[in-house]
């Protein structure tokens, strides 16, 4: 039997990148998956790839910085597949460029905090009551190496929002363990998603490799395998953990 057989898993932000890799791996492991995003064409492509591989999958559209969108998604998921056993609150983005602190705009600050910290809070707020009612659940949040160690080139609003997600994860884990719910967080270094392959110049990719003890950049599948570990019973006694998926580039004692 595969490790997620019979589970319903929602992966937010799975129309591309890391989320799509998690959705595909969870499906291969027997989960019924819900793929989510805002880009209908990209989302449908991921859904049909999972279907063609024999998986059970539905797609839902919505902006996770709006609670009303998330609530609509939740109602559809509960009707079509049942309430999620596993929630991966993966959707997020850095919406301000790295730069001088006082040049960060108020709009850029709010947009980035909304897209990451607020979106994670709202997503969990919507799906947690059903997990509590059933006395079981598994929540995985998504931070970043940017929130694990300061760097002069990191975008500050993104790093601060992701650090907030880490603390949200740990407080929630402390609250809901007694309800049979585990809550963990993944903090990846730069991952070679399609977007990063396009956006990061080759010279920068080469210099980034140098900061990794394991001499390569990460892939979406590296993060997906970490998510599978946290989502499965292999990690049954682990909660409130920030898992650095960084090829050794971040080591926190």
Decide: is 160 part of the binding site for ligand NAP (CB under 6 A).
no
6: annotated active-site residue = no
What mask, x for binding ligand NAP by CB under 6 A, covers residues 175 to 204? -------------x-xx-x-xx--------
CA 11 to chain centroid: 7
Candidates 16, 24, 148, 182; binder of ligand NAP (CB under 6 A) is: 16
Between 63 and 221, CB nearer to ligand NAP:
63
CA 198 to chain centre: 21
Catalytic residue among 84, 158, 166, 247: 158
65, 169, 170, 232: which one binds ligand NAP (CB under 6 A): 65
Going from the C-alpha of 246 to that of each of 60, 150, 235, the distances in angstroms are 30, 15, 19
Please list every residue from 223 through 252 that binds ligand NAP, using CB under 6 A.
Answer: none
Residues in contact with 155: Cβ distance below 8 Å, sequence separation at least 6, in sequence order: 94, 96, 97, 98, 99, 112, 146
- Residues 8, 11, 15, 148: which binds ligand NAP (CB under 6 A)? 15
Burial of 203 from C-beta contacts in 10 A (0-12 / 13-18 / 19+): exposed
- Decide if 242 contacts 143 (C-beta within 8 A): yes
Residues between 105 and 124 that touch ligand NAP (CB under 6 A): 115, 119
Alpha-carbon distance values, 133 to 54, 83, 136, 137, 188 (Å): 31, 11, 8, 10, 32
**38: contact with ligand NAP by CB under 6 A:** yes
Using the contact rule CB under 6 A, the part of the chain among 35-43, 78-86, 171-179, 201-209 near ligand NAP is: 35-43
**Closer to ligand NAP by Cβ: residue 39 or 234:** 39
Is residue 156 within a helix (H) or strand (E), and if so which, with residue range?
Answer: helix 156-176
Residues that bind ligand NAP (CB under 6 A): 13-19, 37-39, 42, 63-65, 90-93, 115, 119, 142, 144, 188, 190-191, 193, 195-196
Catalytic positions, written as ranges: 158
């Amino acid at each position: 039997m595969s490790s997620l057989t019979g589970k319903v898993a929602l992966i937010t932000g799975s129309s591309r990148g890391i989320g799509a890799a998690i959705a595909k791996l969870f499906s291969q492991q027997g989960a019924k998956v819900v793929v989510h995003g805002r880009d209908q064409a990209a989302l449908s492509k991921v859904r049909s790839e999972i279907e063609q591989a024999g998986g059970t999958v539905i797609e839902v559209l919505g902006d996770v910085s709006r609670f009303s969108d998330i609530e609509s998604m939740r109602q559809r998921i509960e009707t079509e597949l049942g309430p999620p056993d596993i929630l991966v609150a993966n959707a997020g983005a850095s919406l301000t460029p790295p730069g001088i602190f006082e040049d960060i705009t108020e709009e850029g600050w709010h947009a980035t905090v909304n897209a990451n910290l607020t979106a994670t809070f709202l997503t969990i707020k919507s799906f947690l009551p059903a997990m509590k009612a059933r006395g079981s659940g598994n929540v995985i949040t998504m931070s970043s190496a940017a929130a694990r160690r300061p760097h002069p080139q990191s975008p500050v609003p993104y790093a601060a929002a992701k650090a907030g997600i880490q603390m949200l994860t740990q407080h929630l884990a402390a609250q809901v363990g007694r309800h049979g719910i585990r809550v963990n967080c993944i903090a990846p270094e730069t991952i070679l998603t399609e977007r990063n392959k396009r956006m990061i110049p080759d010279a920068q990719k080469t210099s980034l490799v140098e900061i990794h003890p394991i001499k390569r950049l990460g892939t979406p599948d590296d993060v997906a395998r970490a998510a599978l570990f946290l989502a499965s019973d292999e990690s049954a006694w682990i909660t409130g953990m920030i898992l650095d998926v960084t090829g050794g580039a971040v080591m926190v004692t």
